C-alpha cells in the first residue's frame, strides 16, 4: 500500500488543516498514513524547521504548508501504479516468467479480469486493442451476415401483416405500401454485401467512442490517470464477452431460423406477452452485456487507478436509463 507521511509538530494550525485534507483523500483512494513529529529527530528539525506541515508520498515531498487534495490524490495514484509495475517486474524475475501476452490476456479477461488488467496497466502495446478488436469484428461480421437477413425478413413479414390488418387504408394504398416493401426486400442482397465493410468499421468506431467515454468517466469524474490506449485495451478485451454472446445468439438463430432470440429474462416470456411493458423492459436486459459492463468497469478502473465500483456505478446507471428509455419509446411508438 502507498505510504503518505505528514511531517508536523504540536500547536500547528496548518498541520491540523493538512491532517483533515489528507484524511479526505485517504477515504477516497486509500493509503497508509504516518504522522511524524519533527521534534523527535534533530535532523528533521534542521530540515523542516518552520517549513511545516510537509506531506510526502513514498518519501517524496508533494505539499508544503497547504495540502492540495487534487495533487495529493494524483501523486498517490501514480505511486500506486508504479508500485504495481515494480511488483509485477519483481514477480516475473523471481519466477523466471515473462509477462502474460495477448493470448493469455484474452483468456484472463474471462477467468481473472482484475489480474489481467493489472498487467495491461503495467505494460501494454497496440496489440492489446488491435487483436481483440479484430477478433470481435470478425465474429460480429459473421453473425450480422447470418442474422441480418433473417431479422429483415421477419420485419418485412410483420409490416405486411400490419398493412393487411390496417382497416384505415384503401386497397390501392395497401397495394402501394406492399409494392414498396417488395422493392425493399429486393435490396436485401445489397445490404448483406455492405455488412462486410460496414460492420468492422462500425465496431472500430464504437470501440474508439466508448473508450473515450470510459476515460472521461474514470479521469474527469473520479480523478483517474488512465491513458486512452490503456482504456481502449481494457474496452477491447472486455468486448470479447459480448462477442461470445453474439456467437451464442448466432447459433440459436441458425437452429431456430428466427432472429427473436433473447439472452436475458425475456427468454421466459410467452410470445403473447411481446407487446407488454414487462416484456419490453426484460428484452433490454442481456446477461452478456451485464457481464461485459462488470468486466469493463474493472478494466477501466484498474488501468486508471480508480475503484472499479465507482466506474461501475456510472456505467450501470447509464445502462439502466437506456433500458428503461428504449422500453418506453417502443411502447410509445409500437415497437
* Mean pLDDT in residue range 317-321: 95
Cell of 106: 484474452
The whole-angstrom separation of Cα 147 and Cα 249 is 9
Could you read off the pLDDT of 155-165 as tens digits, one per residue? Answer: 777 777 777 77
308 and 298 in contact (C-beta within 8 Å)? yes
Sign (positive or negative) of CA dihedral 171, 175, 176, 178:
positive
The CATH code that applies to domain 3-95 is 3.40.30.10
Nearest to 301 by CA among 209, 208, 222: 222
Against a cut of 0.85, is the pTM above it?
A: no
Percentage of the chain modeled with pLDDT above 70:
89
More confidently predicted of 237 and 153 = 237
The whole-angstrom separation of Cα 205 and Cα 164 is 40
Which H or E run includes 54?
strand 54-57
The whole-angstrom separation of Cα 155 and Cα 74 is 52
The reported pLDDT for the residue numbered 43 is 92
207 and 236 in contact (C-beta within 8 Å)? yes
Output the average pLDDT for the chain: 85
* Mean pLDDT in residue range 111-122: 91
Peptide bond preceding 53: is omega within 30 degrees of 0, i.e. cis?
A: yes
286 and 245 in contact (C-beta within 8 Å)? yes
Which H or E run includes 271?
none
The reported pLDDT for the residue numbered 98 is 34
The whole-angstrom separation of Cα 100 and Cα 148 is 37
- For the cut 60, the answer to whether the pLDDT of residue 334 exceeds it is no
Segments making up each domain of the chain, as ranges: 3-95, 121-145+190-333
Which H or E run includes 6?
strand 3-8
The whole-angstrom separation of Cα 194 and Cα 200 is 11
Q: What is the CA radius of gyration of the chain?
A: 28
* Mean pLDDT in residue range 41-60: 92
Q: β-pairing, 54-57 with 3-8?
A: antiparallel
φ, ψ dihedrals at 275, nearest 5°: -100, 15
225 and 74 in contact (C-beta within 8 Å)? yes
Amino acid at each position: 500500500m502507498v505510504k503518505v507521511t505528514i511531517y508536523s509538530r504540536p500547536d500547528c494550525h496548518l498541520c491540523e488543516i493538512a491532517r483533515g485534507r489528507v484524511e479526505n483523500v485517504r477515504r477516497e483512494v486509500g493509503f497508509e498514513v504516518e504522522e511524524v513529529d519533527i521534534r523527535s529527530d534533530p535532523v528533521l528539525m534542521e530540515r523542516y524547521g518552520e517549513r511545516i506541515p510537509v506531506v510526502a508520498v513514498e518519501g517524496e515531498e508533494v505539499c508544503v504548508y497547504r495540502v492540495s487534495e487534487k495533487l495529493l490524490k494524483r501523486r498517490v495514484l501514480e505511486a500506486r501504479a508504479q508500485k504495481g509495475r515494480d511488483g509485477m517486474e519483481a514477480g516475473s524475475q523471481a519466477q523466471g516468467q515473462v509477462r502474460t501476452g495477448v493470448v493469455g490476456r484474452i483468456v484472463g479477461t474471462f477467468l481473472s479480469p482484475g489480474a489481467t488488467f493489472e498487467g495491461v496497466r503495467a505494460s501494454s502495446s497496440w496489440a492489446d486493442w488491435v487483436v481483440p478488436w479484430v477478433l470481435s469484428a470478425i465474429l460480429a461480421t459473421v453473425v450480422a451476415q447470418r442474422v441480418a437477413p433473417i431479422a429483415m425478413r421477419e420485419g418485412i413479414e410483420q409490416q405486411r401483416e400490419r398493412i393487411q390488418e390496417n382497416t384505415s387504408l384503401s386497397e390501392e394504398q395497401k397495394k402501394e405500401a406492399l409494392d414498396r416493401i417488395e422493392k425493399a426486400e429486393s435490396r436485401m442482397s445489397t445490404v448483406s454485401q455492405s455488412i462486410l465493410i460496414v460492420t468492422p468499421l462500425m465496431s472500430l468506431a464504437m470501440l474508439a467512442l466508448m473508450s473515450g467515454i470510459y476515460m472521461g468517466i474514470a479521469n474527469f469524474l473520479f480523478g483517474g490517470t488512465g491513458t486512452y490506449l490503456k482504456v481502449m485495451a481494457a474496452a477491447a478485451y472486455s468486448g470479447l464477452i459480448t462477442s461470445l454472446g453474439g456467437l451464442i445468439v448466432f447459433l440459436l438463430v441458425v437452429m431456430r431460423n428466427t432472429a427473436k432470440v433473447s439472452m436475458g429474462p425475456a427468454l421466459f416470456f410467452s410470445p403473447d406477452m411481446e407487446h407488454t411493458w414487462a416484456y419490453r423492459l426484460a428484452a433490454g436486459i442481456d446477461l452478456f452485456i451485464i457481464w461485459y459492463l462488470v468486466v469493463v468497469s474493472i478494466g477501466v478502473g484498474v488501468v486508471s487507478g480508480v475503484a472499479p465500483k465507482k466506474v461501475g456505478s456510472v456505467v450501470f446507471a447509464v445502462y439502466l436509463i437506456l433500458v428503461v428509455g428504449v422500453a418506453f419509446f417502443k411502447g410509445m411508438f409500437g415497437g
